[in-house]
Every structure is written in C-alpha cells, then in structure tokens.
A and B are shown apart, each in its own frame.
Chain A
C-alpha cells in the first residue's frame, strides 16, 4: 500500500512557468522531506518540514506542510532548465527508523 501519493507523476513545462507538486496521505507524519534526484545520481535532500502549517523557502522553491501533517506541496516559481529532475517526497514517523517515499514527480523544464 502506497502511503504517500504524489501528483502529478509527470510535468513538462516551459522555462519561466510556475508549478506545484503535491504529496498527499491519509497518515499523519512527524516530518516530511523533499528530495531531488538527477539522472545517474542518488536523491539529495532539499528540505525537511516538521510543524503543521510550516512554510519553508529555498530561493525559488516554496515548501509547505499541511496543518494536519498529512500533506505537503512544493511550488517552484519561474522554473529554470536546471530544475529538471525527479522530485520525491518522504514521510517520517509512521514506522520507526524508516521513511516512506512517494512515487516521485518527473519534472522537465524546456528552454
């Protein structure tokens, strides 16, 4: 059973556009992490959110943790070709010592 549902699975946009990726669950998580993965490499952590309603900004990326800690979103403003990659959300707290990963969103930003 997939505890974390990411949407959309694929996203293809032009440079300069805005986009939002969603991560939803029926479970409550103690923390929610977002990772970015480039071809040929392992995922790299972008951010961790731990408080319901928390908003974190990383340059053009804005991350939000839902009030009930069941969902999260990643918003990218004015996407650039360098944003292309696989974005993964991961929840902690439902199973000791393990993270639960969403299935990922493949983002392609065209010049």
Chain B
C-alpha cells in the first residue's frame, strides 16, 4: 500500500462549488504539505502543518483552507472554486527538517 494517498485522483467541478481534497499518510510523519503544480511553475506551497495544532500559510494560500484532522490526515478545501484553480495538487509528508519529502500521487482538479 502507498505511504501517502490522495482522494480523489481526478475531479471535475463547476465554478463556485466547494471542493475538498483529502490526504492520508501511514509514514508517521508530523509534517504535511499541500502543493499546487502548474506547467512551468514547479511546485507552489499552499499550506503546511507541523502537527495537528500547527497550520501555516504557504505562498499561494488565498482561496484555499486546510484542516489537520489527525497526524495522518490533512485536507485541502476550495471554498468557492474558480477556473484558475485548475491544476495538479500534491500532498506530501516530511519526517524532519530538510529531510525527504514523500509525495502522494496527486489530484487533477478541473474547474469549469
């Protein structure tokens, strides 16, 4: 079984809808991250969390919110989706400062 899982893998939605992307991990890491990937822009950090009570905004947090329900679960929400949020979204974990980041398989989100 994969260490970092994301659901759904693909989602098509309409402008204005609320969307939740879920991430679960079995690696036992405290640090979890949500990234957005657009062609030619690499990975942009949306939110990150060092533990259940510690949530931090990344570079592009506007329009997004997160919930860390447990050490193993970190969800990303788009309160009112807009077309320019169409992208590939990745969840990742990291065991320690500057350690390896372990990525999930990604969620491809399309907002019409």
Question: Is A44 part of the binding interface, using a Cβ–Cβ cutoff of 8 Å?
Answer: yes
Out of B100, B103, B104, B106, which one reaches A33, CB within 8 Å? B100
Decide: A42 near B50, CB < 8 A? Known: A93-B98, A97-B97.
Answer: no
The residue in A9, A96, A99, A104 that gathers the most chain B C-beta atoms within 10 A of its C-beta is A99
A96 to chain B, nearest CB (A): 7
User: What residue in chain A is nearest B58 (Cβ atoms)?
Assistant: A98
Contact B42 A101 (CB under 8 A): yes
A residues near B97, Cβ cutoff 8 Å: 92, 96-97
Out of B48, B58, B98, B103, which one reaches A43, CB within 8 Å? B103
| Size bracket, chain B contacts | 20 to 34
Contact A42 B92 (CB under 8 A): yes
A91 to chain B, nearest CB (A): 9
Contact B42 A102 (CB under 8 A): yes
B residues near A93, Cβ cutoff 8 Å: 98
Given contacts A42-B90, A97-B97, 4 further A-B contacts (CB under 8 A): A44-B103, A48-B100, A97-B56, A104-B42
